[in-house]
């Protein structure tokens, strides 16, 4: 399936189109927006599309995605059953790991060329993602980006539950 291997990244200039996985309809809802007994396979609602490269804005970072995380919330969202239902079509993906291509005005935490981990509500399954600077962290030295792509939705909730809620 499309989600079992890292997103293949090709070299583009910033004015080119990029590839992105887009969800064109919800797999778990009928035409009236009601849940269906058996959702359709996600491959029937997702497509690899060409899209314009996002523009970097103040306080944002453009990241070239080397690896994108795919977790249970992404599947629920593509079924239309997640707590946040985006407008269609949309690019799924809440976590990515890659390198910084461009930084917007006011961004000092990261620089062009830095290896980073990025979290977002949407858009991680694209070759280039635009992320608010506060949702981008430098990748630890010596760690492979492939090991960091699923960090956000797996590590951060567990850490929050143990440290903040459980006071461990």
In angstroms, the Cα distances linking 92 to 44, 96, 120, 158, 164 are: 14, 11, 10, 22, 28
pTM: 0.82
Specify the pLDDT at position 167: 82
Q: What is the pLDDT of residue 15?
A: 56
Give residue 14's pLDDT: 52
Q: What is the mean pLDDT of each run of 10 residues along the chain (168 residues)?
A: 40 72 96 94 96 96 96 93 94 96 96 96 96 96 90 72 83
């Amino acid at each position: 399936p499309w989600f079992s291997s890292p997103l293949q990244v090709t070299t583009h200039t910033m004015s080119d189109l990029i590839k992105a996985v887009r969800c064109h309809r919800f797999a778990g809802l009928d035409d009236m927006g009601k849940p269906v007994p058996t959702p359709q396979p996600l491959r029937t609602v997702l497509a690899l599309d060409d899209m314009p490269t996002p523009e970097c804005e103040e306080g944002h970072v453009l990241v070239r995605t080397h690896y994108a995380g795919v977790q249970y919330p992404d599947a629920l969202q593509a079924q239309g059953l997640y707590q946040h239902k985006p407008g269609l079509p949309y690019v799924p993906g809440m976590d990515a790991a890659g390198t910084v291509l461009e930084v917007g005005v006011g961004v000092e935490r990261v620089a062009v060329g830095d290896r980073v981990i990025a979290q977002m509500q949407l858009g991680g399954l694209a070759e280039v993602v635009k992320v608010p600077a506060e949702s981008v962290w430098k990748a630890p030295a010596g760690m492979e980006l492939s090991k960091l792509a699923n960090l956000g939705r797996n590590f951060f909730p567990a850490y929050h539950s143990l440290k903040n809620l459980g006071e461990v």
